[in-house]
Structure formats: structure tokens, C-alpha cells
Structure 1
Amino acid sequence: MDIKRTILWAIFFVSAIMLFDNWQRDHGRPSMFFPNATHTQTSTGTPASGTPGSEAAALASASAPSNAIAPVAGTAPSQPQAAAQLVHFSTDVYNGDIDTRGGTLEKLVLTGNADPKGAPLNETLFDHTAKHTYLARTGLIGGDFPNHTDVFTPVPGPLTLSPDQKTLTVSLESPVKGGLKVVKTYTFTRGSYVIGVDTKIENVGTAPVKPSLYMEIVRDSQPVDTPRFSHTFLGPALYTNEHHFQKITFSDIDKNKVDVATSADNGWIGMVQHYFATAWIPQQGAPRNIYVEKIDPTLYRIGVQQPLSTIEPGKSTDVSARLFAGPEEERVLEGIAPGLELVKDYGYVTIIAKPLFWLLEKIHAVVGNWGWAIVLLTVLIKAVFFPLSAASYKSMARMKAITPRMQALRERFKGDPQKMNAALMELYKTEKVNPFGGCLPIVIQIPVFISLYWVLLSSVEMRGAPWILWIHDLSQQDPFYILPVLMAVSMFLQTRLNPTPPDPVQAKMMMFMPIAFSFMFFFFPAGLVLYYVVNNVLSITQQYYITRVMGADKKKAA
């Protein structure tokens, strides 16, 4: 029995299963193997309960979010609601609208660049349309206080960040409810995807009050565009020092299987999608309760409730927080908040992927082009693994040389498998061929190749980044399918250089594999295909050279 080909068939079978599993997840079906959510032990605390009624009703009425209590006695009556309007603003990295209903970020379009030499992001994060809802909102609970359903009044001031300004502030005032008035101020900073959100709460009533401030992100489960045959996480996430990074799938929320930290005095809560994320980052050291829930048949939310100290009549308190809304640029995220860089999710291969991305960044800093950085990183990885690859190709060359003799033994002992195996083992021993020699070096390299796959798939730096000629965006598929065709040709050549299986069916399957895998690569991002093309070309060159050298050595010996 040819052990090596058995292993190759096993690898092919597993690859086919994994391909089908990726197709399942790409079409919104659950994975057969890998859960998307990261669960940890639930800590103490009480999450919020669902908002009564539908989300549309909640936005149209003055009902407070969950955990609301009766109004405090002795407070001033609520003022009549005014008509809501949109306040448009623009900065060097944002273009958006603030809804005066709740002072909520209604729309936020990212207009900056992930790569200074690439195209603008032009990515819409927050949005509220008939087909899509994605909002960041705040409000008060603990009484009939101002919340995200009340209509605020814009404070006059500039709404565009001028070239000579470093920051832009936009403020809105709430009506008086329950004796409280809220002034919400957004501070946008040039070149930054972090928005300062200051909430000033004034007690204009006659009785002390003790409200809580909630900050939440609301989103539907509408998927975002991702490359075919690949899967990226979409859903709520949070981070605490105790439980670290935790993800929650929408399906787990549907099934009431959410098991995450529910209280902390640190960390952040957010919403993650391919290349981009949003996150509320409350003040560190301020205790808060964390909640994740479904509030409508199509809407989900993750948020924090931060209890505030008692506010006496005529006094006020300020609560500062930060709202991140931008691309998942790993180095930028590291400087914003602990653990925020984990929204760029490499999954189980993080320990290998992070150093690879660091190295890719260093190469890019020298060459100034992400495409050439991918090429050079691939060359560097092949150089590091050269001894292992050389051992593998030498073993394959020996196997190819003795293939006719192996076939003869199979024909001779085809009626006696036991004698056939013994004869094959004797042949391996005589020719000093290890059946596993060609497989083990490849298996050792697989984690690195998978890690680099996730680095290239997850890095927003590839979005809009050009390479050469026809490749204008490494995150999109090759528009003319040139790289996938080269990939197919390189895989075919590699197959021809390998030992031909003695079984005709196996031989046909080995020839069919490049076609099957190439079909998948036709839909992969150009950056990923570029990596595999370069890797295959280097492998073919190395394998051809080693085979020629070994053939020349045998002729000299003869």
C-alpha cells in the first residue's frame, strides 16, 4: 500500500470537506466544525431586558429602554416633542448625519484612506433605512428621563471641519424630562476614527435623582460583502480584562445561548464586520452592566448601562466616553484601547498570524506597495522553509524514480496484499526512501500558509490597494482572471512534477484537482491569489532544480 498517496487522499478529502463548510458559512448556514462565538463563564450582573414592542415603535414613542422605572416625584413635566431632523456634518475622515431624535448617529460614511496611496474607503457604517439599521445611541434610564426617542435641539455652530481646525464639536440639547436636561456633544478629531462623546446631565428639577446612562450599538443581521468561499465574523463583540475578547453570533442571541461577561469596570463593547468595526469605550474604572439581546425580529443590540452618582437640584455631572467607528487597522487599534485590535480576528491562528502581519507591514514600509510586499514575504517564507521543502522534494523525486518498480511489485503481488506491502517496504528500505518524507515537511508548513491566508483576508490595508497594471484593488478578485489562470497552470505543473499514481483513477483525480481548486481561486481576492501563485512558482522552481540535480548525480554515479 502506498502510504504517501493515502495521506494525500486524506488531505484532499479534508480539503473538500473544509471547502464545503466554507460554502455553508458563506451562505449563512451554521458551520459543521467551528463555532463563531467565543464563550466564557458568565460573570455577575443583570443584563437589560428587551425593549417592549418593535424597534420602529420604540423609535416613534417616548418609551425608555429596558430597566426603566417610574418618574421621580417633584420633577418638572416633559415638554412637547418637536419634529426630528437630520444634522449633516463632515470631517476629513467622516461624512454623516446626526438625527435630532435622541441625538443619534444616523449615518456615518468613512471617507478616509486605509492606504494613503489607495482609493478612499467610502464605507457606510451607521445607517438607518427601510432595509438596513445600524446605529450608535445613548440615553438615560432610572426614570422618565431623556433617551434615544426624544427630539433634541441642535446647538448653533460649525458642522464642517475646516482645513485650519484640528477638532469639530457638534452639540445637541434634550428637552427637560424628569427634571433632567441632557447636552450631548460629539467631538471629531482630524485624522482620527475615534469620536469623543460627552454627556452633560443637568438637574433642573427640585428633587435629587440618580439616573444611569446607557450606550449601545443596534444592528440588523444583514450580511456585508465578503469574498466568496470565505467566511468572516459579523456580530457583537466585547472585551474585559477578566474575560478578554468575546464574540457573539446573531444565531446564539436568537437561541438565548449568550454567555458573556455582564459586568465590568473596564473594556469596551462593539459590533464587528469584515474590515470594519464600531465600539463604545466607556471611561476605564467606571462600573457598568453589559447586555446583549434581540429587540426586534430583525434587530440586535449590545450595550452598557453605567450607574451615575446622585445629582442634586441645580447640579450637573459629565460622562465622557469614546466611540470608535473605522477600519480595523491593527496598529491604530492597539493605541486606542486594550484588546481593541482583536476585532481584526485571525481566529485560531492568531499566534502565528500577528507576527506575519508585523513582518508584512515592515516590508511594505520599505517597498511602499502591498502587492510587492506580499511577493517578498512569500519569498522570505519559502527561504525560511527551504530545508524542509528540499527534503520533501527530494523524497518526491526518489518516489518518482522508483514508481515503475513499485507498479511492477503491485502487478506481481496484486493477489496477495500482505506480500505486496512487505515487498514495497523492502524497496523503500533498499532505496532509502521514506514514504512520509514528502508529506511531513508540507504538513509542518500548513499552519503558516493558513495564517497568511487569514492575514491577507482580514487586513483592511488590502482594500483599495493597487499592485501593478490591471490589479487596482488587492481585496477584490482579479477583473481579468489572469492570476487565477496562472494559479491553475502552476498547480498543473506541480502535479506533473510529482510521482504519477499507479492507479488510473487516482491519476485522473490528481489531474482534476488543479481545475477544482482553480475554480475556487477565481473568486478569491487578488492579494490571496497572488500569494499562492508566487508560492507555487517558487515551489516549482525548487522542485525542478532538485529533481535535475538528483538526476545528474545518479548519472555520475552510474
Structure 2
Amino acid sequence: MTDIRRTILWVIFGFSMVMLWDQWQVYNGKPATFFPSAKPAATATATTPSGAASVPAPIAGAPGAVPAANTVPGAVPATGAAPAVPRERFSVTTDLMRVTFDSEGGQVVKTEFLKIRGDKDTPTFTLMDQSGGRIYVAQSGLIGGDFPNHKTVMTVLPGDRNLKDGANDLVVKFESPVQGGVKLVKTYTLHRGVYDIGVKHEVVNTGTTPVSPQVYLQLVRDGTDATGSSSFYSTFTGPAVYTEAKKFHKVEFKDIEKGKAEVDKSSDNGYVAMVQHYFVSAWILGQGVKRDNFVRKVDENQYAVGMIAPVTVPPGATVAVDAKLYSGPEEEKKLEALAPGLDLVKDYGWLTILAKPLYWLLNQLHSFIGNWGWSIMALVLLIKIAFYWLQAKGYESMAKMKAVNPKVMAMRERYKDNPQQMQQEMMRIYKEEKVNPLGGCLPIFIQIPVFIALYWVLLSSIEMRNAPWIGWIHDLSTPDPYFILPAVMTLSSLLQTALNPVPPDPMQAKMMWIMPLAFSVMFFFFPAGLVLYWITNNVLSIAQQWLINVRMGVPPEFNLPKFK
């Protein structure tokens, strides 16, 4: 039974590691290696209101294709009228961000966050960009005829370029030339203290007959992973679509390439987004506005996710379509308040139901403590207290096993040539000593999901980015530069192993030492915040195990490996 117990414990440990690896894969947009759950994907194309599928209409040299529409037979979307005004790029600045616009299409081609430090100690972080081989832009326009689109050079109307002291809004306005009897007026309203931008598309019918264009909103991005990715843990980079019907759905660039991406094609709610570690850009239409969602490849290593909303404009009239463009950090509470389901871009995977309350508790601790490192340690302490009596049962079972271990080892030596008799004697010893060899399994199994959920909270939370702890730890989201924390974590894991009873089976005894060592190697490349959380858990577990052993009269001793 001892062998069975130890085997079950290692199976549980191994299973948790497998689940962690699968979540790394899924979080990175890759299929789960061991527990695939996704249905076979279907090709994702945007559908027009009539139900006919549309296909991309690439524009040579453009950083994004104009989505094709189902129009009258023979109609071809325009690639933009000849420029009537000079094309220009300019930037506007609020208290939080600097946004660069291109008058070609009135598109957003760069977003810089003034209060978020970039990589390699650059003073600002850049999310959207169109330079140095990078393509990450927000585009919009009209399809369904020879209408203005994101390749149409627009006139920039006069206005402020910096948010003035005491002002809460900054307005940037573009006006297109008339194309196909339609003029498009695009108004961006940037607000103080937030990263979301109001975007109004006014469709003006200058003709004498009704027109039915479609407003498209799309994010175009290259398929290169976000900077700072690690080979030892993965985070997702790519498009995502949310609707109330299908909920949050990430789309891998590779699936778009193969035509196997699956999204909820038609809805009257939700958003489309481009997600990367800690940051997201999203187009959000109002609730009740009918739209078709799409993902597609638009050029070599360029992919788009977007929405298409139909409008009908009577002659001489103007119809407005209001939207929001968010480009900023994945701050959970702010995203939650901005749009239903937008907080899900901060993806906790299948343990969201546990991760969300853990993040809330961590945030509350930080509001009191003021340091994310100490807050992590305090959160682990509270979790250990919550599970104290449950875990104590497991440690008590281990202490009893340790007390009877000499009898079991002696018995195994006597009956090593008679396995059946050995099993009977082992059961007799356990019965006489009132020991349940499986007593420690359930408490350990119950706690595994909680600590995996906490792992994802720490990996996903932008609050860890550039957050110092003490001394040499200046950023909890990056590995310890001197590998001090991983070394301490390895030693604490080995110490915890040494306090456990030695498995009677020699192979299990070897595995008992090999598994913590192998697991510890990964932590040398993990973010310091994750390593700190694991060290705290190890130290508290050792202290609890030590106290329980003393209380039960089983003096703590270190069972060092004896490999032959």
C-alpha cells in the first residue's frame, strides 16, 4: 500500500505538471498537447447580411486589405481615390498616451503609453506601430461600393494636438473626399485618464438615392510574437473574438494561415481584439448593433481581425456608427467596466472561476501593503491558512507513515521473495498502527487547482511588470538576474523532499528526488514573482510539516537519498 500511495502522489504531481504544460500551450494559442478539447476548426470568413461569404480583396503594398462585401454583381471594392490632399502623419498626446494617426484612411498607426516603461529601460511602451518591419494598426472605412476606405487620403481638420490642462477630451477629425456619392467623416475622441478612444463614423449620402455601405473596423498585425517571450513559459499573441453566444475565443495565426480559424461570424454584441502578454487592442461596437466578425490573412505574415456593420443612408442624410478603440494594458477592473467580457483578454484559461477571486484578493492586499512582492507572499500565507486543517490531515498521514516506515522496511526485507505475503503483512501493520496510506492524497489533490490558478494570476497580471520587490529584484515579471530566488526555491524543494518518508521502493525513492530537481530547473527562467510565490509555499509547507511531526512525536529528520 505504501507503494500505491507514493505512486498516486507522483501521478497527481505529474498530472498537475501536464496540465500546466497544456495551459502554456493553450495560452500561447497552440493546441493542448495532452488534453485537446477544441472541436475541429472550420474556415472563418466574414459573411454579409445576405449570408453570402465574402473574401479578402488585398491591396498591393497595403498593410491591410479592404474587406470585400457582398454587393451587386460585378461590384468591386475600390482601392482608394487618388489623393486630393497631401498625406500626412501626426501625433496627439494625452496624459496617458501618444497616438500617431495617418491621414491615409484616418488610421491609427502607433500608440505609446507614457506612464508604462518599455523594454530595455526605454521610457515609454509602444504597442501599435508601423515601422522597422512591424505592422500593428487600427483601420476602418466603408465597403459595398466605390466608397472611402482606409486607403483613401482624408483631410485632417484643424484642432489641438495636445490635451490641455483642465480639459478632459481631445478631438481629432478626418473628412474624406466624396466617393460613390458618399463622404466619410471620422472623429476620434481621446479622454483624460483612460486608454479607450471614442470613434464616430459619420456616413454622409450626398446623392439622390439611398446607399447601403458597410462600415468595417479591423486590427491588422504581423504574426511575430511579442517581445520578451520565453522558451520556458508561453503567453498568447494573436486575434480574439468575443460574443455573448460563443464567449471568448482566441485564434492562432497558424490556423488563419491554414484557413482553419473558427469565430462566431454574426452577432449584435461583443468585440474583436489583438492580444499579447499584458496588452491588448480592441474594436468595440455598441450592444445591439448587428455585425459580422472575421479573421483573415491580408498579406505575407499579416493578419486581420475585424467587424463589418451594414448601414442604410437615405439621400441627403447622415448616419453615424459609434465605436470604441481600446489600446492599452490588460488592467482587469478597467477592462471589465469598459465592455462586457473585455476583461477575458486577461486569460486565466480553465481556472478563471478560481483565478478571478485570487486576483481580487491579491489586489486588495496590495492596496494595503503597497508592494507586489510582499503581497504575493501574504496571499500565499492566507491560502495556506485557509487550507491548514485540510493539509494538516495529509501531513499527519505522512508523519504516521514515517513512524511505521522502519517496520515496513524490515518486513519488506523479510518477505522480498514472497510478494503476496509481503502485501498481507503490510496491510496488517497499517491496520494495527491505524495508518491510512492514502490519507494524504485528497488534501494534496484539492489544493492543486488553487495553486495553478494563482500561477496564472501572477503570469497574466500586468501589475507584476516593472514591479520591484527588494534589493536586486527590480521587476517581478522577469527572471531573477542573479538566479538567487531559483536557487533558494530548489533548496527548499529538496528540503521538503528530505522531510518526507522514504518510499520502500528504490525506484520511487529516486523519483522522489529527481522530480523536484527537474521541476526546479524551469524556475531559473521563470518570472521572479512566480518563483517568489513557490518559495513562500515551500517554506510554509516545511514549517507546517515540521510542527505536525513534532506534535505527533515523530522527530523531524532528513532522509537523504541513497542511490545505488
Task: Give TM-score scaled by structure 1 length.
Answer: 0.90
Partner of residue 366 from structure 2, selected from 346, 364, 367: 364
Higher deviation after alignment, 277-286 or 184-193: 277-286
Show CA shifts across 1:188-216 (max 9, x none): 10110110111122223444322111111
Contact 2:29/2:237 (<8 A) preserved: no
Paired residues, what number?
Answer: 542
AA matched with 2:368: V
- Cα offset for 1:59? 5.1
AA matched with 2:144: G
AA matched with 1:426: R
Contact 2:22/2:35 (<8 A) preserved: no
- Cα offset for 1:257? 2.7
1:345 aligns with 2:350: no
AA matched with 2:32: S
- Cα offset for 1:113? 4.7
Show CA shifts across 1:460-485 (max 9, x none): 11111222222221111112222111
AA matched with 1:272: V
- Cα offset for 1:79? 5.3
Separation in 2 of the partners of 1:453 and 1:434? 31
Quickly say closer, same or farther: Cα 1:175–1:549, change in 2 above 3 A. same
Quickly say closer, same or farther: Cα 1:20–1:143, change in 2 above 3 A. closer
Q: Helix, strand or coil: the match of 1:302?
A: strand
1:491 aligns with 2:490: no
Contact 2:203/2:313 (<8 A) preserved: no
- Cα offset for 1:138? 0.3
Contact 2:56/2:296 (<8 A) preserved: no
Quickly say closer, same or farther: Cα 1:22–1:280, change in 2 above 3 A. closer
Quickly say closer, same or farther: Cα 1:123–1:281, change in 2 above 3 A. same
Partner of residue 263 from structure 1, selected from 249, 262, 266: 266
- Cα offset for 1:428? 1.0
Quickly say closer, same or farther: Cα 1:530–1:39, change in 2 above 3 A. farther
Contact 1:227/1:525 (<8 A) preserved: no
Contact 2:206/2:315 (<8 A) preserved: no
Show CA shifts across 1:274-297 (max 9, x none): 111111111222211222222223
Query: What percent of counterpart residues are identical?
Result: 51
What are the ranges of 5 or more consecutive residues in structure 2 without an aligned counterpart? Answer: 557-564
Q: Helix, strand or coil: the match of 1:303?
A: strand
Q: Which residue in 1 is equivalent to 2:560?
A: none
- Cα offset for 1:144? 0.5
- Output aligned runs, 1:72-87, within 5 Å: 80-87=83-90
Separation in 2 of the partners of 1:64 and 1:495? 60
What are the ranges of 5 or more consecutive residues in structure 1 without an aligned counterpart? Answer: none
Q: Helix, strand or coil: the match of 1:452?
A: helix
Show CA shifts across 1:393-418 (max 9, x none): 11111111222221122222222211
- Cα offset for 1:135? 1.4
Q: Which residue in 1 is equivalent to 2:286?
A: 283
Separation in 2 of the partners of 1:162 and 1:32? 53
Quickly say closer, same or farther: Cα 1:518–1:47, change in 2 above 3 A. farther
Partner of residue 306 from structure 1, selected from 309, 320, 324: 309
Contact 2:25/2:234 (<8 A) preserved: no
Contact 2:148/2:176 (<8 A) preserved: yes
- Cα offset for 1:64? 4.5
Separation in 2 of the partners of 1:242 and 1:223? 29
Contact 2:41/2:261 (<8 A) preserved: no
Quickly say closer, same or farther: Cα 1:59–1:391, change in 2 above 3 A. closer
Separation in 1 of the partners of 2:471 and 2:234? 29
Q: Which residue in 2 is equivalent to 1:213?
A: 215
Partner of residue 132 from structure 1, selected from 134, 158, 169: 134
Quickly say closer, same or farther: Cα 1:23–1:307, change in 2 above 3 A. closer
Separation in 2 of the partners of 1:324 and 1:37? 28
Separation in 1 of the partners of 2:123 and 2:510? 45
Q: Which residue in 1 is equivalent to 2:158?
A: 156
Task: Give TM-score scaled by structure 2 length.
Answer: 0.89
Separation in 1 of the partners of 2:92 and 2:358? 39
1:112 aligns with 2:85: no
Separation in 2 of the partners of 1:437 and 1:126? 54
Partner of residue 474 from structure 1, selected from 473, 476, 488: 476
Partner of residue 300 from structure 2, selected from 273, 297, 302: 297
Q: Which residue in 1 is equivalent to 2:436?
A: 434
Higher deviation after alignment, 448-457 or 83-92: 83-92
Higher deviation after alignment, 530-539 or 267-276: 267-276
Contact 2:204/2:313 (<8 A) preserved: no
RMSD over aligned Cα, in angstroms? Answer: 2.9
Partner of residue 242 from structure 2, selected from 235, 239, 254: 239
Show CA shifts across 1:364-415 (max 9, x none): 1111221111111111110111111111111111111222221122222222
- Cα offset for 1:457? 0.8
Quickly say closer, same or farther: Cα 1:87–1:47, change in 2 above 3 A. farther
Separation in 1 of the partners of 2:397 and 2:4? 13
